[in-house]
Amino acid sequence: MAEDHGKATQAAVRERNLTTALQLVLSGDGSATRAAIARRTGLTSATVSSLLAGLIADGLVVEGSLAESTGGKRATTLRVDADRNVLLSVIVQPGLVRGAVLNLLGDVVATVSQRTETPGALDDVRSVVRRLSAATTARVAAVGVQVPGIADGGLIRESVQLGWVDVDLGRELSGIVSAPVHLVNDADAEAIADYAVSDEFGANQLFVSLSTGVGAAVIVDGDVLAGAAHRAGEIGHVPVLFGDDAPVCACGNRGCLEELVSVTSLLGLPHGTDLESVDVAALAVQPESRQRIAEGARILARALLMLGAALDVPNVVLGGAAPKLGPEFIAHLRSEAARHPVRAAMPLSFRYAKTALEQPFRGAAQYALQSTLGVSWAR
């Protein structure tokens, strides 16, 4: 028994060291060497060489050019084999399923999209994954699927927008690709992607995604909180207006935050509108939209004051389609939050997400990369 435990411990240590070595190669951007990794980790040269031999054999790392001389024999640089292994990133929305093939450096190699007649049709999701698989000859290391709902392992516990309850999406896709499938909530995915490229707000942030729905992700000390039942940040269906005249939400309740401050609601668009097919910026400056945007910002700011105080997270990042609303919306949020300061709580700061529009596939891919290989793209 003790011998088995010792072997298990040794295997765990080696796995951790492999992950560390791969992360250093990935972060080194082609400049890492065996000697540098040995210095950073405190491992022996023989151990590092053994680890790198395993990573090279697995097709994750390749040797590059010779490094600059430091007085002795020039070392050989190491880099991630970006194209031999790829990631599939899929974004599921009510009116659209789209996806991308990304190499291990996070660069998009190919994209596909498919309009949907029925929100949440699994055939559309499977079709996009098949098309992505056919678009690459590389080995698929992992699949990340971003959904507007509660992701718990391979299950989507609930997605009001897609009409899903306890959908085993991992099983639905398992026959298409042999790689592990990792599901992630859309707000969490966007938060992961944005946090990886920006340190403007530090390690404690509240990421709020506004599109056809409303969701949030809480980042504390650099980690996204899952919550007791993987439901942290599910703020969209919390009622904030009450009474018989409060608007009816798609979930059946009245006065939900999503019904009042989603981008579709702010622009007066029908539920489930494919926001990729409309000019959000042009609609946002229309007089009737500006009135709804001002009122929605007032409601959202007050809800976020409560969240910010409860979590002691003063920095709010707005993602999804929110950046397309332009400077007026975020100005309303700042003004409303400043008008109602919360005693004993830090004042809220707001900014738009940096990656939500330009690199939409990066979050789910980053999540899949971290979940499968244990490494992340450097900030």
CA distances to 285, 293, 329, 332 from 289, rounded to whole Å, are 7, 6, 11, 14
**Residue 95 — very low, low, confident or very high, per pLDDT cuts 50/70/90?**
confident
**Residue 197 — very low, low, confident or very high, per pLDDT cuts 50/70/90?**
confident
Q: Could you tell me if residue 172 is left (phi over 0), alpha (psi between -120 and 50 degrees) or otherwise beta? A: alpha
Q: What is the pTM of this model?
A: 0.86
Contact of 369 with 104, CB cutoff 8 Å: yes
Per-residue pLDDT at 272: 76
pLDDT in tens, 26-36: 999 888 999 99
Q: Give mean pLDDT, residues 253-259.
A: 93
**Whose CA is closest to 164, among 181, 149, 153?**
149
Pairwise CA distance, residues 14 & 53, whole Å:
13
Q: Give mean pLDDT, residues 143-152.
A: 92
CA distances to 22, 80, 276, 367 from 61, rounded to whole Å, are 8, 4, 37, 20
Pairwise CA distance, residues 173 & 142, whole Å:
12
pLDDT in tens, 153-167: 889 998 888 889 999
> What domains are defined for the chain?
2-80 (1.10.10.10), 85-190+360-373 (3.30.420.40), 199-352 (3.30.420.40)
Pairwise CA distance, residues 146 & 102, whole Å:
15
Q: Name every residue whose Cβ is closer than 8 Å to that of residue 36 and which is 6 or more positions away in sequence.
A: 24, 28, 75
**Residue 265 — very low, low, confident or very high, per pLDDT cuts 50/70/90?**
very high
pLDDT in tens, 361-379: 999 999 999 999 999 986 4
Amino acid at site 212: T
Per-residue pLDDT at 325: 95
Q: Which residue has the higher pLDDT, 120 or 288?
A: 288
